[in-house]
C-alpha cells in the first residue's frame, strides 16, 4: 500500500511515517515546511532505514497535487497538513480556513479525480467544545469555540457530505476515517524525532520541556480554580506513537473492507485524565529537573476537563493506547535533552 502523508514532516505526521514504514507500507510525504523542517524526515529514514519520496509543496496547490498523483501511484491518504494553534486561529481566521478547510477541499478534489478513495483525516477533541460530561463518546454533539476547532468541524461535515452524496451514486467512492485526537505528547523512543514548535509553544509538554532545559524561565499554568481536584485543567494525554499506531489500524480497517465505504469516526485517547500539576510532577520525576511554574489567568475558551471514551476504537479497530504517563514523560525528556535546539542543531 502506498500512502500519501500530507504534513508528514510535522510532529504527528513524522511519527506516523515511522509507524507506516514499520508496518510495511510505502510512503510519499507532501509538506510545505511551514511548521517543520526536512531534518525530521531524514530522522525518520534514520530510524526506519528506509528512504522515501518527499514533495515540498502545498495542499492548496492543485497543480502540485496533479503532479504528485501523476508521478506516484497512491492508494490512500493520511491528511495531517494543517495549522493547529487555537490562539493564532482567533487572530487569523481566514488563514486557518484557507489552509485547513480549503486545503482539504483541494486534496479531496484531486483524490476524486485520481481515483484515490481512502482518506484518514486528523481531527481533534476540540470539536467537542465544553463537553456535558466525561468520558466523551463519538456521538457527543460538536460545537467548536474557536476558528481552529471550527475548521475541523467544517471538514468533518464536508467528509460526511461526500459519503452522503455517495448514497446516490451507483458505486460509492469514499472510504474515510475521521480520527479525533485528544492531547498528543511524547516522542519516538529513539529520541530522534519529537515536537519542535517554532517560538513559544502553545502546548503544555513542549513548554515544560523548554523550562527543563533552561530555555524558558517558568511554566505559566493557565487557570488554577477550575472545578477539578487541584484546580488546574485536566486532559487526556496520549503518546504520539500510540496515536501513530492508531492511524495504521484505521488504515488496515478501511482497506480490509475494500468493498465497503463510508465515513467512520474514532476517538484516539487513553481514557485517563491528568491535571497540569500532575503532568508537571510526572515530568520532574522523569527528568530529575525542577519545573518552576506560576498560575495565571485561564485562557478564554479553555475548558476545565476532558477525556475520551476510546472503547469504539478498541472494539472496531483493535487499537488501544499502551504507553503510560511515565513513558510519555521519559520519551519527551529523551527527545528534548538530546536535542535542546530541536531539529536545528
Residue linked to cell 487526556: 236
- Among 36, 175, 209, 261, the residue binding ligand NAD under the rule CB under 6 A is 36
Q: How far apart are CB 290 and ligand NAD at their closest, in Å?
A: 25
CA-based Rg of the chain, rounded to a whole angstrom? 19
Q: Within a 10 A sphere around the Cβ of 218, how many other Cβ atoms?
A: 11
Does position 274 bind ligand NAD by CB under 6 A?
no
Distance CA 225, CA 231 (A): 4
Distance CA 88, CA 178 (A): 24
Q: Residue 252 is inside which H or E element, if any?
A: helix 240-256
Contact 292, 221 (CB under 8 A): no
- Among 82, 135, 223, 269, the residue binding ligand NAD under the rule CB under 6 A is 82
- Within residues 52-81, the interface with ligand NAD by CB under 6 A covers 58-60, 80-81
Does position 2 bind ligand NAD by CB under 6 A?
no
Q: How far apart are CB 84 and ligand NAD at their closest, in Å?
A: 4
Does position 267 bind ligand NAD by CB under 6 A?
no
Torsion of the alpha carbons at 234, 235, 236 and 238, rounded to the nearest 10:
-130
Q: How far apart are CB 39 and ligand NAD at their closest, in Å?
A: 12
Catalytic residue among 11, 96, 128, 148: 148
Q: How far apart are CB 260 and ligand NAD at their closest, in Å?
A: 26
Does position 279 bind ligand NAD by CB under 6 A?
no
Nearest to 19, CA basis, from 255, 339, 330, 239: 239
75 contact partners, CB below 8 Å, separation of at least 6: 1, 2, 3, 116, 118, 255
Residue 13 vs 223, nearer CB to ligand NAD? 13
Does position 212 bind ligand NAD by CB under 6 A?
no
Nearest to 178, CA basis, from 125, 120, 136: 120
Residue nearest to ligand NAD (CB): 10
Q: Which three cell numbers stand for residue 94?
A: 481566514
Is-catalytic flag, 114?
Answer: no
Per-residue interface string for the shown chain with ligand NAD, residues 92-131, x marking contact by CB under 6 A = -------x---x------------------x-x-------
Does position 9 bind ligand NAD by CB under 6 A?
yes
- Within residues 142-201, the interface with ligand NAD by CB under 6 A covers 181, 183-184
DSSP for 214-278 reads: TSSS-EEEE-S-SSSTTSS-EE-EEEHHHHHHHHHHHHHHHHHTTT--EEEEEEES-S--EEHHH
Q: Which three cell numbers stand for residue 154?
A: 467544517
Counting residues that bind ligand NAD (by CB under 6 A) gives 30
Catalytic positions, please? 148
* Residues found near ligand NAD in the complex (CB under 6 A): 6-7, 9-13, 30-36, 58-60, 80-84, 99, 103, 122, 124, 181, 183-184, 203
Amino acid at each position: 500500500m502506498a500512502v500519501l502523508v500530507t504534513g508528514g514532516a510535522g510532529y504527528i505526521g513524522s511519527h506516523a511515517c515511522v509507524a507506516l514504514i514499520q508496518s510495511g507500507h510505502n510512503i510519499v510525504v507532501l509538506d510545505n515546511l511551514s511548521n517543520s523542517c526536512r531534518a525530521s524526515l531524514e530522522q525518520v529514514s534514520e530510524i526506519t532505514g528506509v528512504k522515501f519520496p518527499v514533495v515540498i509543496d502545498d495542499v492548496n496547490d492543485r497543480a502540485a497535487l496533479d503532479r504528485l498523483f501523476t508521478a506516484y501511484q497512491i492508494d490512500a491518504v493520511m491528511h495531517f497538513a494543517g495549522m493547529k494553534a487555537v490562539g493564532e486561529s482567533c487572530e487569523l481566521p481566514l488563514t486557518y480556513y484557507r489552509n485547513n478547510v480549503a486545503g482539504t477541499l483541494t486534496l479531496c478534489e484531486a483524490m476524486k479525480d485520481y481515483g484515490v478513495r481512502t482518506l484518514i483525516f486528523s481531527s481533534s477533541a476540540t470539536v467537542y467544545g465544553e463537553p456535558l460530561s466525561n468520558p466523551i463518546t463519538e456521538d457527543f454533539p460538536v460545537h467548536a469555540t474557536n476558528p481552529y476547532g471550527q475548521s475541523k468541524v467544517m471538514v468533518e461535515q464536508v467528509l460526511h457530505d461526500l459519503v452522503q452524496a455517495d448514497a446516490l451514486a451507483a458505486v460509492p467512492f469514499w472510504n474515510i476515517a475521521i480520527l479525533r485526537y485528544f492531547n498528543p505528547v511524547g516522542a519516538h523512543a529513539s529520541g530522534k524525532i519529537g515536537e519542535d514548535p517554532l517560538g513559544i509553544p502553545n502546548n503544555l509538554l513542549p513548554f515544560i520541556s523548554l523550562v527543563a532545559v533552561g530555555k524558558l524561565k517558568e511554566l505559566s499554568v493557565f487557570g488554577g480554580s477550575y472545578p477539578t481536584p487541584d484546580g488546574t485543567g485536566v486532559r487526556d494525554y496520549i503518546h504520539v506513537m500510540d496515536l501513530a499506531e492508531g492511524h495504521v489500524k484505521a488504515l488496515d480497517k478501511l482497506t480490509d473492507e475494500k468493498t465497503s465505504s463510508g465515513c467512520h469516526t474514532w476517538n484516539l485517547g487513553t481514557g485517563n485524565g491528568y491535571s497540569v500539576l500532575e503532568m508537571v510532577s510526572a515530568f520532574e520525576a522523569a527528568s530529575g529537573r525542577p519545573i518552576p511554574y506560576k498560575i495565571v489567568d485561564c485562557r478564554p475558551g479553555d475548558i476545565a476537563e476532558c477525556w475520551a471514551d476510546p472503547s469504539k476504537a478498541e472494539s472496531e479497530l483493535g487499537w488501544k493506547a499502551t504507553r503510560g504517563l511515565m513513558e510519555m514523560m521519559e520519551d519527551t525528556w529523551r527527545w528534548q535533552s538530546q536535542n535542546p535546539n530541536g531539529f536545528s542543531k
